[in-house]
């Protein structure tokens, strides 16, 4: 039996590749931006926080010499997304990697007690925005005969858990949309990857608890969670694999987490 040693793989150099990241101002998105910048990629960064994007642009250009283009808009605003993509200078239109990272969860309410308005925000961000960005970017990839779509899903998409049914449903949709897109692109050189993080300590959890930092901190008590930079490593790995290798789906968890609901927490 033949075993391929990872060191024998001809990894792609990401220097000069154009990487478009949504939700790039914090958490996993920021981690991905920093990792790809450190490897010499050209970055198109999207988020609503313009000040943070400007700070990242200055950091990456100064530290890594990266080219960085900012597209500050709300991914839920389809017209803004269309205008932003249409406004790209010609030399930025050839997007090599699309990282659909923007996403959120609000609240830990039971399904029959939750806020319809908050559910709309989650569905619009986690599903509709991902679909819009995919629809706007992928046709160009198909026309150029190259590209990689990396969707940030979640372990929550594998099974529902208490207080998270709507969020879990949105991440199950990300899995289905990733699988469906992979089927639709099977006759092309394009690749589709669904990265599914478990417990990751970012501002994401603060939003989940509606700004209650103490509650967010308590969620990670007794366990070492992953960081946005940890997930960025897996995203970069998937993107840099040889073009004939498609990492379709990857579940990434802390060592002491087994499922979305089972983990081991050390007692202090």
Q: Does 236 participate in catalysis according to the annotation?
A: no
Closest listed residue to residue 29, CA positions, set 252, 225, 235: 235
Catalytic, out of 17, 171, 196, 209: 171
Residue 169 CB coordination number (10 Å): 18
Question: 54: burial class by Cβ within 10 Å (0-12, 13-18, 19+)?
Answer: middle
Catalytic residue check, 171: yes
Kindly name the residue from 167, 196, 209, 236 that is annotated as catalytic: 167
Are 252 and 198 a contacting pair, CB within 8 Å? yes
Contact 34, 232 (CB under 8 A): yes
Render 165-223 in DSSP notation, one character per residue: HHHHHHHHHHHHHHHHHHHHTTTSS-EEEEEEE-SB-SHHHHHHTTT-HHHHHHHTTTS
Q: Exposed (0-12), middle (13-18) or buried (19+): which is 138, by Cβ within 10 Å?
A: buried
Active site residues: 167, 171
């Amino acid at each position: 039996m033949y075993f391929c040693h990872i060191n024998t793989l001809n990894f792609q150099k990401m220097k000069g590749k154009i990487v478009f990241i949504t939700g790039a101002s914090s958490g996993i998105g920021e981690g991905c931006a920093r990792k790809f910048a450190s490897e010499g990629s050209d970055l198109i960064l999207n988020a609503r926080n313009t000040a943070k994007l400007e700070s990242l642009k200055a950091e990456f250009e100064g530290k890594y010499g990266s080219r960085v283009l900012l597209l500050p808009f709300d991914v839920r605003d389809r017209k803004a997304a269309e205008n932003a993509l249409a406004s790209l200078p010609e030399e930025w239109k050839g997007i090599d990697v699309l990282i659909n990272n923007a996403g959120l969860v609000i609240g830990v309410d039971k399904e029959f007690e939750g806020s319809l308005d908050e559910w709309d925000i989650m569905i619009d961000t986690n599903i509709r925005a991902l679909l819009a960005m995919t629809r706007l970017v992928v046709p160009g990839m198909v026309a150029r005969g190259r590209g990689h779509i990396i969707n940030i899903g979640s372990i929550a998409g594998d099974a529902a858990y208490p207080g998270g049914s709507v969020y879990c449903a949105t991440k199950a949709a990300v899995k289905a949309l990733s699988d469906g897109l992979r089927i639709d692109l099977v006759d092309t050189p394009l690749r589709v990857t669904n990265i599914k993080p478990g417990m990751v300590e970012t501002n994401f959890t603060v939003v989940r608890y509606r700004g209650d930092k103490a509650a967010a901190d308590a969620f990670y008590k007794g366990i070492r969670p992953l960081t946005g930079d940890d997930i960025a490593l897996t995203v970069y790995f998937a993107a840099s694999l040889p073009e004939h290798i498609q990492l379709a789906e990857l579940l990434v968890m802390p060592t002491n987490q087994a499922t979305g609901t089972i983990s081991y927490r050390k007692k202090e």
